[in-house]
Amino acid sequence: MKTAQHPEQAAEFVANDARAHWHDQALWFVREKRDRMAVSLPEWEQLRDTASQIKLHTVSRMADYLEEFERNATKLGAVVHWAKDAQEHNEIVLSLLKKIDAKRIVKSKSMLTEECHLNPFLEEQGIEVVDTDLGERIVQLRKEAPSHIVLPAIHIKKEEVSETFHEHLQTEAGNNDPNYLTEAARNHLREKFVAADAGITGVNFAIAETGGLVVCTNEGNADLGVSLPKLHIACMGIEKLVPKAADLSVFLRLLARSATGQPITTYSSHFHGPRPGGELHIILVDNGRSNLMGSSQFRNSLKCIRCGACMNTCPVYRRSGGHSYGTTVPGPIGSILAPSRDSKQHKSLPFACTLCGSCTDVCPVKIDLHHELLEWRGEIRKRGQLPISKTLPMKFTSWMMQSPWLFGVVGAIGRWCLRHFPRWAIYHGLNPWGKQREMPESPKQSFRELYQIHESKKASDE
């Protein structure tokens, strides 16, 4: 995955104007479905408040609930492993697979395994890993990363899916009928399910009180993936924990409505220990989450249930695409999580935001996303990671705005230049604002001058 800064990577996406608009409209369609679902529940805001409080409480007692979960999961026959980072997580998975000499793995959608780069790690060991979520399988065949945590292939058109399937699954060239392509994918994946030596799933929720897991899918691929092989490996970030089984009803009602505008996810699969004759291994992964837990500024981001609602509504994400973020989790929540792991590498992400607050408005667990993004901007400045292209103009602007006289003079010069300069002198490579938008029409008078005229007229009328 590329690690260049967001503006450069976004430029690649927006260069295709038709795709950028189509992507924007597709996600806004999902956002509107979410709104219709939200207003259909009179208790929607109460659910959001409750979910937020449950998550805050869980984070405040995370160590206790993790130990309770381990005790209860072990009683059910599962084996619980602890991984401090991605490398340790991958090594644990590999050791479990080696014990049974597994060569073929089926995996349901798991953003944690994407975060840990598990697929390339296992493939280097000669193990075939097949993503069984349809969208993830499409991007896997195209050797791309998911561009959205819920809709991993949202950036790809059906014509491109047809080309990909023709190349890899030998489907009819040029046939982009969705039913035909879906049937081809189903037959292809069924063969992989039958031949698999082990199944890997993510975890949407883990319940401390019972030691059980819940995996939510719309295609039933998690159930199929762990029904035939004897080995089931469940990989979860420690923030997926909830204290009690009763808490699930709150989150299951919020999750699908916020993610795709559905009343509920098609399959909410509950796992309580291994199936008869099988093994269930649960890997609890930290990978930087403890650092967030210790931060009063960014602790709220651990409440995230990975619904993707903040991405669907974000004007920057919709117009720049998920790959422009260069992280497993893109969009507003990803722009908070990624700098917490490496602020130098991801320093541009908190600035990929208009601070409009729409993400905060739709978040089902009430994460103050745009406030945290603003906090990150200040934090990056304190760490000396802002480029001079931002620090210098900000220093000049600060100096200018401290003098009303100077502010007036600079404003007058700017308005004059906008009215009289030739177009090439305004729209060039040093003016990134003008790349895809027109500068505002310059008024002849400033607000201050108009206000003085208004006040003078008002005084004369009196």
What is the CATH number for 79?
Answer: 3.40.50.10420
Q: Are residues 111 and 232 part of one domain?
A: yes
Residue 10 lies in a domain: no
User: How many domains, in total, are found in the chain?
Assistant: 3
Cα–Cα distance for residue pair 326/370, rounded to 1 Å: 20
- The CATH number linked to 326 is 1.10.1060.10
Distances (CA, A) of 185 to 165, 219, 380: 8, 12, 44
Residue 28 lies in a domain: no
Q: Are 133 and 108 in contact (CB under 8 A)?
A: yes
pLDDT tops 50 at residue 1? no
Phi, psi of 206 (to 5 degrees): -125, 135
Name the domain boundary from 264, 287, 310: 287
Q: What is the pTM of this model?
A: 0.88
Residue 20 lies in a domain: no
Q: Are residues 187 and 139 part of one domain?
A: yes
Structure-derived torsion over alpha carbons of residues 245, 248, 250, 254, reported in degrees to the nearest 10:
180
Q: Are residues 142 and 261 part of one domain?
A: yes
Q: What pLDDT score was predicted for residue 455?
A: 92
Q: Are residues 160 and 53 part of one domain?
A: yes
Could you report the per-residue pLDDT of 52-108, keeping only the tens digit for each? 999 999 999 999 999 999 999 999 999 999 999 999 999 999 999 999 999 999 999
Residue 144 lies in a domain: yes
Which residue range(s) make up the domain with 347?
297-383
pLDDT tops 50 at residue 418? yes
Cα–Cα distance for residue pair 65/293, rounded to 1 Å: 14
Q: Are residues 104 and 63 part of one domain?
A: yes
Q: Are residues 369 and 271 part of one domain?
A: no
Q: Are residues 308 and 276 part of one domain?
A: no
Q: Are residues 315 and 182 part of one domain?
A: no
Nearest Cα to Cα of residue 102 among 193, 231, 276: 231
Residue 5 lies in a domain: no
276 conformational bin, left if phi > 0, alpha if psi -120 to 50, beta if neither: beta
pLDDT band at 46 (very low <50, low <70, confident <90, very high): very high
Edge-first strand listing for the sheet containing 231-237? 79-83, 279-285, 231-237, 198-201, 104-107, 128-131
Residue 26 lies in a domain: no
Alpha helices in 156-299 (DSSP H): 158-169, 178-195, 221-227, 248-259, 289-293
Name the domain boundary from 383, 416, 448: 383
Cα–Cα distance for residue pair 262/266, rounded to 1 Å: 9
Q: Are residues 398 and 379 part of one domain?
A: no
Q: Are residues 202 and 101 part of one domain?
A: yes
Cα–Cα distance for residue pair 227/210, rounded to 1 Å: 21
Could you report the per-residue pLDDT of 186-237, keeping only the tens digit for each? 999 999 999 999 999 999 999 999 999 999 999 999 999 999 999 999 999 9
Q: Are residues 359 and 412 part of one domain?
A: no
Name the domain boundary from 329, 361, 383: 383
pLDDT band at 3 (very low <50, low <70, confident <90, very high): low
Residue 170 lies in a domain: yes
Q: Are residues 136 and 53 part of one domain?
A: yes
Residue 155 lies in a domain: yes
